[in-house]
């Protein structure tokens, strides 16, 4: 079977099945692919009495199938055993609706299993960020420092901001940081390009100065690019913190009511999460030198040259929404309330954010 999470189902149509050994790993007596494992809430592992190959089991983990076990024998590697026997994600009752927290906890568990199964090689990533808000630079850099599994460098486009306004934040950062200064009249996309011209990493990642990113954000993108074979990857724009309302919402559908899935080929990803190889970025022609809609037009340009875009999970990313004129993506706060699948008071990201 495929060892990727492509086609992961947020709200499965079936319950649990039994994963057991019978001359190979079987799901209720059948090969795993015959059980349509993405349609299952999860697989409960029934361990054999003696050691057996774990390849089939780790393949299911790599596919994002939620696996669980009451215990694990000593011959199961410790990191895998710890994850399989961590059953906290089962504490929430499933009610079959998208609003169910059981589905969110299940997806978080799925992502942890994917990370364990795939473990991409450590790569170098050039993080590109443009900012007009010097007061946000310190917090943005702190989140970049938290990134695990990658070698990161930071490239900042100071958009109408003098370096002296951010010097303290930059000098306090443990990562290598380079910057360019540009007048406020320079289009946003051009500022990004000037910063990106300094990149030395194998990959280039776009970063928004006012959003929140979990510590595995970049490594999850690299992992998704690897297992999907994509040219461009990004996440869903799924979690939003509505600052004036002091509320967090999660959306899993478009405004039309159509499903907004992750782990799919798509023409749209969250603009603050775009990642691709630096060579492919140059082949596309960089960011369009526009004041707005830079991400959208960049993805269109990528599609025109035949680049394929993949949308992975958005559990490690939260977008900040303030007043409409503060953002290049301009939609009223009422829009986000209207499309919310879940809504909570205060800042309530996914557990994968590790309290970013």
355 vs 147, higher pLDDT: 147
| Residue 2 binned pLDDT confidence (cut-offs 50, 70, 90) | low
| Residue 327 binned pLDDT confidence (cut-offs 50, 70, 90) | very low
Domain boundaries, the chain: 16-118, 123-353
**Residue 344: DSSP 8-state:** E
| Residue 45 binned pLDDT confidence (cut-offs 50, 70, 90) | very high
CATH for 123-353? Answer: 3.90.550.10
Instruction: Give the Cα separation of 18 and 43 in Å (integer).
Output: 6
Convert the pLDDT of each residue in 5-28 to its tens digit: 999 999 999 999 999 999 999 999
Nearest to 313 by CA among 263, 259, 348, 355: 263
DSSP E strands, the chain: 16-21, 25-27, 42-46, 67-68, 123-131, 150-159, 177-182, 203-206, 212-213, 232-235, 239-242, 247-250, 264-265, 275-277, 309-312, 317-321, 342-345
Give me the count of residues in the chain.
Answer: 356
Over residues 97-108, the mean pLDDT reads: 89
Residue 82 has pLDDT above 80, yes or no: yes
264 vs 35, higher pLDDT: 264
């Amino acid at each position: 079977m495929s060892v990727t999470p492509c086609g992961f189902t947020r709200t499965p149509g079936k319950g649990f099945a039994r994963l057991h050994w019978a001359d190979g790993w079987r799901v209720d007596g059948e090969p795993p692919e015959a059980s349509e494992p993405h349609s299952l809430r999860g697989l409960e592992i029934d361990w054999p009495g003696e050691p057996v190959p774990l390849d089939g089991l780790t393949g299911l983990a790599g596919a994002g199938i939620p696996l669980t076990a009451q215990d694990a024998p000593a011959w199961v590697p410790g990191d895998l055993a710890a994850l399989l026997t961590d059953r906290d994600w089962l504490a929430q009752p499933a009610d079959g609706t998208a609003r169910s927290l059981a589905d969110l906890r299940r997806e978080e568990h799925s992502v942890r299993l994917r990370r364990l199964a795939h473990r991409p090689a450590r790569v170098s990533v050039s993080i590109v960020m443009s900012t007009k808000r010097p007061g946000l630079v310190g917090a943005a850099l702190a989140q970049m420092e938290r990134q695990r599994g990658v070698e990161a460098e930071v490239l900042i486009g100071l958009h109408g901001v003098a370096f002296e306004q951010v010097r303290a934040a930059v000098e306090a950062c443990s990562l290598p940081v380079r910057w360019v200064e540009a007048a406020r009249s320079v289009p946003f996309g051009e500022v990004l390009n000037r910063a990106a011209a300094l990149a030395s990493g194998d990959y280039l990642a776009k970063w928004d100065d006012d959003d929140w990113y979990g510590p595995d954000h970049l490594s999850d993108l690299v992992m998704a690019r690897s297992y999907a074979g994509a040219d461009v990857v990004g996440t869903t724009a799924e979690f939003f913190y509505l600052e004036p309302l002091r509320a967090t919402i999660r959306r899993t559908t478009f405004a039309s009511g159509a499903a907004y899935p992750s782990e799919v080929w798509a023409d749209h990803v969250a603009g603050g999460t775009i990642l691709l190889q630096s060579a492919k970025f140059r082949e596309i022609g960089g960011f369009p030198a526009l004041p707005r809609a830079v991400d959208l037009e960049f993805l269109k340009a990528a599609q025109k040259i035949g680049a394929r875009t993949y949308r992975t999970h958005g559990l490690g990313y939260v977008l900040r929404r303030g007043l409409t004129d503060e953002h290049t993506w301009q939609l009223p706060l009422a829009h986000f309330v209207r499309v919310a699948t879940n809504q909570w008071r205060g800042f309530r990201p996914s557990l994968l954010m590790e309290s970013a």
